[in-house]
Amino acid sequence: MGALIGLGVGVGAMLIWAAFALPRSPRPDDVNAGRLQHLLERAGMAHVSVTSLTGLSLLFGFMALVVVQVVSRTFPVALVFGLMASTTPYATVRRRARVRQQEFAQVWPEAVDNLSSAVRAGMSLPDGLISLATTGPEPLRDAFAQFGLDYHVTGRFGESLDRLKVLLADPVGDRMVEGLRVAREVGGGDLGRLLRNLSHYLREEERTRSELEARQAWTVSGARMAVAAPWIVLLMMSFQSDVITHFASAAGVLVLMVGAAACFGAYALMTRIGRLPVERRILA
């Protein structure tokens, strides 16, 4: 009997230890929150929390639902526009992240050239990076100014580079930072050649991508117009109470559901077919 009690106590203690010590698999909510946080970082909005973004989305959706409900007095229609409006903050952040990454891709070659010139002039690598806060491209100056502040306060080059990667939240920035880290640790005279090769590669990559995006723009614009057109018509019909009330019936709700599914599916398919590959932050 005593042996069984001891065994039970031992098993219970082991289970309690495993519950706190062993790594837990991330929950879906944690994964989604992590994706939203990475999106905010790529958009340069790391100071905004996921909770604030979610609350703003709910607020937009509720306001649109109330306004359309007052105008149309048809709840299914108001609910559809409320759901659409709730995606506005998320879509805005995604667009800002995309524009920011494109802007960075355009100015990185200039920043690498400035750093290469600073190194050739005899400046140390940390001082060359700090100088980009004043001589570098405008979109990157704030990040390098913060790097300079971190380096002057801590004196630790590696940790300052890690914080610079977080501020930039950019795939090209990750590659540059890790290349500079290796060059700093290994030493030697390969830094100048590394920067020249990186600048040439970035210019060729940006030229190719700009041509592809210019050819793709009409496809994306056409998809957006095709999806937006029926909902604009529906919104204009909301001011005609004798017409819009038909959507309050079961048949009307079915039409709204089928139309929303068709528009969403067609838009997702068209944008996926015409989507250019997005470089991921594998070195983050």
* Predicted confidence (pLDDT) per residue in 186-244, tens digit: 765 667 787 888 888 888 888 887 887 777 777 777 778 888 888 988 888 888 878 88
**Distance (Å, whole) CA 202 – CA 114:** 14
Residue 3 or residue 255, greater confidence: 255
Classify burial at 48, counting beta carbons within 10 Å of its beta carbon; exposed 0-12, middle 13-18, buried 19 or more: middle
Q: With a cut of 50, say whether residue 18 has pLDDT above it.
A: no
| Single-letter amino acid, residue 41 | E
Give the domain ranges of the chain.
Answer: 28-98+208-273, 104-207
CA pair distance 264, 254, nearest whole angstrom = 15
Interval 114-132 mean pLDDT: 87
pLDDT of residue 23: 43
| pLDDT attached to residue 10 | 53
**Helix spans in 22-74 (H):** 28-42, 50-72
pLDDT band at 29 (very low <50, low <70, confident <90, very high): very low
pLDDT at residue number 149: 92
Instruction: Provide the residue type at 230 as one letter.
Output: P
Region of poorest pLDDT, from 29-33, 59-63, 68-72: 29-33
Confidence at residue 67, expressed as pLDDT on a 0 to 100 scale: 92
- Whole-number pLDDT of residue 26: 42
Nearest alpha carbon to residue 81 among 71, 90, 93: 71
pLDDT tens digits, 133-190: 998 899 899 999 999 999 988 888 888 888 888 888 888 888 888 888 887 777 656 6
Query: What's the rounded Cα separation, in Å, for the pair 159 and 161?
Result: 5
